[in-house]
Amino acid sequence: MARQIPLLLLFLCSSLLMGQVVTDRSVILTGAFPEDRQVTGLPDSEASDAVLTTTTERRGAYRTAAPVAGNVWSIDLGTLTAAPPAGTQLVVVAPAPTSGDIDLLVNGHGPYPLLAAVDVRADGAEIPEGTALSVVMDGSSFQIMNTNVRPRRPCPEGMLTVNARYCIEPVEHPPVDFFAAASTCGSQGMRLCEWGEFITACQRAGEIGLAGTTNSWEWTNDASNENGSARVVGAGSCLSAGNAIVTGSIDRNYRCCYTR
C-alpha cells in the first residue's frame, strides 16, 4: 500500500500540471461563504471542449468572426471543427455590403443560408458594414437574431407604401361594425390602421395614390374615451376625429394597414 501512495500523488500532480481533471461524477462545491464555493485558477482557454471562464465568455472571441465581403461569408473558427449543430450561436461582423442573398461557410461546412426572418433571405446590401450580427443555427440555416438589422417586409400586392414602417390599402372597404372590420383585416394578415397612421397616409394621399380619405368616417384601432367606442377619422379632413360605438349602431368604412 505504501508503494501506491507516491503513484497516486504523481497522478494528481500531473493532472494539476495539465490543467484538466476528468470525472464521471458531479462536482459539488461546498463552503460557508460564496468565495469558498468556486473554482479558481482556470486559464482563459478557448478550446471547444474546455471549461470557459467568464472573461472568455464575455469576450466571445471564440465565436466571433469578420468575414471578407461577398455573397458567401467564410468563417474560420478553430474551436468549431465539426459541422455546426442546431443552437450554435455566432457573432459575425458584417463586411462591406454586397447585393444579393448571403450564405455562411463555417470552417468549410455549408454554405448555410443567412435568414433575416422566417423564410426570408438576408440581402447583403441592407446590412451596414461593421454591424455585429448575432446568428443562430436552426439546423439548416443561420437566423439573424438582432431584429434591428432585419430588412423591412415588402408591402403585399395591391397595398401602398406609406413609409418604411407600414403599408395601407388604397381604397376603403364598405361600412361594417368595428369587430367585423378588425376580423376582416386580421384574416388577411393585416390590421386596422392606427389614428396616427391614417393621418400620415392621408396627408400624403396625392403622392402615394390614396383615395377617399376624407369622404366618410373610417374605423381605426385606437380606443376612445367612451366605453364601447373606438376612434373614427377622416370625415371632411385628414385631422378630423371622433368616437363611434363599436357595434349595434352606425357601421363605418375602414381600411387595413400592414406592418413592414
Over range 78-88, report the average pLDDT: 80
Averaged pLDDT for residues 3-32: 56
The values of phi and psi at residue 202, to 5°, are -60, -40
Query: What is the tens place of the pLDDT at every residue in 227-254?
Result: 899 999 999 999 999 999 999 999 999 9
* Mean local confidence (pLDDT), 249-260: 95
CB atoms within 10 A of CB 38: 9
Question: What cell was used for 111?
Answer: 454554405
- The dihedral formed by the CA atoms of 146, 152, 153 and 157, expressed in degrees to the nearest 10: 180
If one compares 44 and 129, the residue with the highest pLDDT of the two is 129
- Considering the domain 160-259, what is its CATH architecture? Roll (3.10)
Distance CA 39, CA 210 (A): 67
Neighbours of 15 (CB within 10 A): 12
Alpha carbons 80 and 212: distance in angstroms, whole number: 59
pLDDT in tens, 20-71: 566 667 777 787 887 777 777 666 665 655 666 666 666 666 678 889 999 9
Amino acid 40: pLDDT: 72
More confident residue, 45 or 144: 144
Angle of CA points 161, 165, 169, to nearest 5° = 35
Q: Measured between alpha carbons, how far is residue 187 from residues 190, 225, 231, 240, 259 in Å?
A: 7, 27, 21, 28, 15
pLDDT for 128 beyond 90:
no
Domain extent listing, the chain: 61-149, 160-259
**Distance (Å, whole) CA 239 – CA 102:** 44
Residue 203 CA to residue 130 CA, distance in Å, equals 37
CA distance 71 to 124: 7
Beta partners for 91? 64, 134
pLDDT higher than threshold 70 for residue 209:
yes
pLDDT at position 3: 45
The mean predicted confidence, pLDDT, of the chain is 84
Q: What is the mean pLDDT of residues 113-123?
A: 87
Specify the pLDDT at position 1: 43
Res 140 pLDDT > 90: yes
Place of cell 455562411: 104
Say if residues 106 and 84 touch (Cβ distance below 8 Å). yes
Query: Tell me, what amino acid is at 136?
Result: V
Each residue of 151-190: pLDDT tens digit?
677 899 999 999 988 999 999 999 999 999 999 999 999 9
pTM check: above 0.85: no
